Structure 1
Amino acid sequence: MRHGRTILMLAAMLLLLAACAAGGNELVGTAGVERDPVGFWWGLWHGLIVPITFLVSLFTDTVNIYEVHNAGNWYDAGFVLGLTFSIGSGPFGASRRRSGRR
């Protein structure tokens, strides 16, 4: 019974991770597209899902980890912040020493 729950939980986690992957970027190589460029919040989201998007991008040419039609520095700031949380340490990564130990 416990083995079945583990498999079910792993399948649910895999489905959740697959749902977070970014889609194809149809704007690659286009200029003057009539769409607003993405900004900080999309950059944050793309940075958060970069591990999954990177894996998908290895197997397909239509998925990129970075939005090419972006608003510039604000998108970059969001992307780096999201990347820090997803790959880097985030707010909980810094280890703190306890005052009693040395």
Structure 2
Amino acid sequence: MKKKLLLSSIVIIMALFMFTGCIPGDGAATITKPAGFFSGIWHGWLAPISLIIGILDKNIRVYEAVNTGWWYDFGFYIAIISGFGGLSLCRKKKKDK
């Protein structure tokens, strides 16, 4: 049981370090190459992590300021609404027994 907990902790910490390199405001988006639709989706998924890191580092934002406009917004909001599979267009009904 301890091995499983240790392994899970290591995987979570590694994932957090990996995600912090992809948060909005990291300097990857420039005027010549602004953040687009897929960046919006990625930044929407990382918004909770970006919010926490943004409290500690004033240079990090939840939303990328240098973006393509409507398409970035669309991707960002789709990710915020759906999360990782949270958007369910059809729900399973409980069967009465």
Both proteins in one fold, TM over 0.5: yes
Say whether residues 1:97 and 2:96 are aligned partners: no
In structure 1, the gaps of 5 or more residues are 28-32
Q: Tell me the secondary structure at the aligned position of residue 13 of structure 1.
A: helix
Amino acid at match of 1:97: K
Distance 1:34 1:87, change over 3 A: closer
Q: CA deviation at 1:3?
A: 1.2
**Aligned counterpart, 1:74:** 71
CA contact (8 A) 2:24 2:63 kept: no
Which residue of structure 2 lines up, in the alignment, with residue 16 of structure 1?
Answer: 15
Normalised by the length of structure 2, the TM-score is 0.76
Instruction: Check if 1:55 corresponds to 2:91.
Output: no
Where does the alignment leave 5 or more consecutive residues of structure 2 unmatched?
A: none
Secondary structure of the residue that 1:91 maps to in structure 2? coil
- Post-superposition offset of 1:82: 1.2
Runs ≥4 residues deviating over 3 A: 23-27
| 1:10-47 deviation per Cα after TM superposition (whole angstroms, max 9, x unaligned) | 221122123112164459xxxxx642222111101111
Shift of residue 87 of structure 1?
7.4
Could you say which structure has the larger radius of gyration? 1
Q: TM-score, normalised by structure 1?
A: 0.73
Tell me which amino acid in the other structure corresponds to 1:101.
D
Count of aligned pairs between the two proteins: 94
Aligned residues with identical type, % of pairs: 23
